[in-house]
């Protein structure tokens, strides 16, 4: 069976200041993958209008995500960094995928249920179609690997379902077009135009939890700023937030199994591990038996060591918006060339005249 060329794609929404969750769940992985893969990293501004249509300053918000990428170590000259709305094929392919995806699939999406809340009728149609646009983002580049936080797992499964259904439904025409590769789904041989993307979710902190409640995801939109560490927080704030982070009265366990049922302890140990590129077991080998009064200052130190230089670099980059705009323009031109090729293939396979 032939294989699609490996390519990494992922995106971040410009919906507010990035959190440590976004950094550890996504951006840190984006940086690491640059050495082994060709990578495309996108600021998904079309996604940003699904929950709230009107944003105070979407342009600067988009620039700040680009600045965070670059300040964290993403090289936009070796890889591609761009904003989604600058490449119109994202919306075009999403429409096709709206016709591939089934309503039953979308109804099962837990993020939609969470974000739409009780008043579902009042949620935008875009919020419901969000995973179909996300599938388009990935498959427009025929990406094989997607680094994301654990919260995006279900959306990636949907992207796999969409790719598979498209490939099966159009298998014969894909074969005739010569644009596909051989694939086998179960015992079914098909011609595949789209790869079945692999999520990259591993690591010690695939889902960073709120500092105030270890059962809730750390999120940009949590009303309490104390629940999260923002990538733009200064040292004083990081000290304060970790000092106030919820814990339990027990000392840290010596084994990972001892974190079971201790959501807040588990979260802080996971954060420490991810920040220092260690496993939770390594962290507990050093801190097992120690009280939080000793662990928290150490955690604060590693958080500041990681975030302070990124923060300083982000500020420098944000002082020159024209430079960021030029990087995004260059990225969108390079992304656009790939996107156009894929979309032309999709049009030919479906039978759209062009």
Rounded distance, CA 336 to CA 89, Å?
Answer: 8
Catalytic residue among 165, 220, 246, 347: 220
For 251-286, b/e burial (b = at least 16 CB within 10 A) is bbbeebebbeebbbbbbbbbbbbbbbebbbeebbee
Contact pattern for ligand AQP over residues 131 through 150, marking x by CB under 6 A: -----------------xx-
Select 137 or 170, whichever has its Cβ closest to ligand AQP: 137
Select 179 or 208, whichever has its Cβ closest to ligand AQP: 208
Establish if 45 lies at the interface with ligand AQP (CB under 6 A). Answer: no
Rounded distance, CA 75 to CA 78, Å?
Answer: 6
Residue 115 is among the residues annotated as catalytic for this protein: yes
Select 29 or 296, whichever has its Cβ closest to ligand AQP: 29
Of 8, 25, 204, 269, which lies in the binding site for ligand AQP, with binding defined by CB under 6 A? 25
Sequence-distant (6+) residues with CB within 8 A of 198 are 144, 145, 146
Q: Which residue is nearest to ligand AQP (CB)?
A: 25
Exposed, middle or buried, 43 (CB in 10 Å: 0-12/13-18/19+)?
buried
Exposed, middle or buried, 119 (CB in 10 Å: 0-12/13-18/19+)?
exposed
Establish if 341 lies at the interface with ligand AQP (CB under 6 A). Answer: no
Pairing between strand 39-43 and 80-83?
parallel
Site for ligand AQP in 150-209 (CB under 6 A): 151-152, 207-208
Select 195 or 203, whichever has its Cβ closest to ligand AQP: 203
Rounded distance, CA 310 to CA 302, Å?
Answer: 13
Select 114 or 172, whichever has its Cβ closest to ligand AQP: 114
Establish if 72 lies at the interface with ligand AQP (CB under 6 A). Answer: no
Exposed, middle or buried, 54 (CB in 10 Å: 0-12/13-18/19+)?
exposed
Catalytic residue among 29, 165, 216, 217: 217
Residue 116 DSSP label: H
Of 7, 8, 9, 21, which lies in the binding site for ligand AQP, with binding defined by CB under 6 A? 21
Residue 3 is among the residues annotated as catalytic for this protein: no
Q: Measured at the alpha carbon of residue 194, what is the angle toward residues 25 and 160, in degrees to the nearest 5?
A: 50
Sign of CA dihedral 266, 269, 273, 275: positive
The minimum distance between CB 136 and ligand AQP, in angstroms, equals 15
Site for ligand AQP in 220-279 (CB under 6 A): 220-221
Of 7, 8, 9, 22, which lies in the binding site for ligand AQP, with binding defined by CB under 6 A? 22
* Positions in the binding site for ligand AQP (CB under 6 A): 12-13, 15, 19, 21-22, 24-26, 148-149, 151-152, 207-208, 217-221
């Amino acid at each position: 069976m032939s294989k699609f060329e490996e390519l990494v794609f992922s995106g971040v929404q410009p919906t507010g200041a990035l959190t440590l969750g976004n950094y550890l769940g996504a951006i840190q992985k984006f940086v690491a993958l640059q050495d082994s893969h060709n990578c495309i990293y996108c600021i998904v501004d079309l996604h940003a209008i699904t929950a709230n249509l009107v944003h105070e300053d979407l342009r600067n918000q988009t620039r700040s995500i680009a600045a965070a990428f670059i300040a964290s170590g993403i090289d936009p000259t070796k890889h591609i960094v761009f904003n989604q709305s600058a490449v119109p094929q994202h919306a075009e392919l999403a429409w096709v995928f709206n016709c591939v995806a089934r309503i039953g699939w979308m109804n099962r999406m837990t993020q939609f249920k969470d974000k739409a809340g009780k008043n579902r009728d009042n949620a935008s149609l875009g919020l419901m179609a969000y995973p179909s646009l996300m599938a388009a983002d990935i498959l427009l580049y025929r990406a094989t690997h997607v680094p994301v936080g654990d919260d995006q797992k279900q959306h990636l499964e949907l992207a796999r379902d969409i790719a598979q259904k498209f490939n099966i439904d159009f298998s014969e025409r894909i074969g005739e077009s010569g644009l596909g590769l051989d694939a086998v789904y179960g015992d079914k041989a098909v011609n595949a135009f789209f790869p079945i993307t692999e999520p990259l979710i591993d690591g010690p902190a695939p889902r960073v939890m709120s500092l105030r409640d270890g059962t809730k995801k750390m999120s940009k939109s949590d009303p309490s700023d104390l629940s999260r560490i923002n990538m733009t927080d200064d040292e004083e704030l990081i000290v304060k937030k970790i000092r106030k982070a919820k814990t339990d009265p027990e000392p840290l366990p010596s084994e990972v199994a001892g974190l079971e049922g201790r959501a807040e302890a588990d979260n802080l140990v996971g954060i420490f591990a991810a920040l220092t590129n260690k496993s939770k077991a390594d962290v507990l080998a050093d801190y097992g038996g120690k009280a939080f009064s000793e662990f928290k200052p150490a955690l604060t130190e590693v958080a500041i060591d990681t975030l302070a230089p990124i923060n300083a670099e982000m500020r420098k980059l944000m002082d020159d918006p024209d430079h960021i705009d030029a990087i995004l323009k260059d990225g969108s031109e390079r992304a656009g060339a790939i996107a156009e090729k894929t979309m032309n293939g999709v049009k030919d396979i479906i039978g759209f005249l062009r």
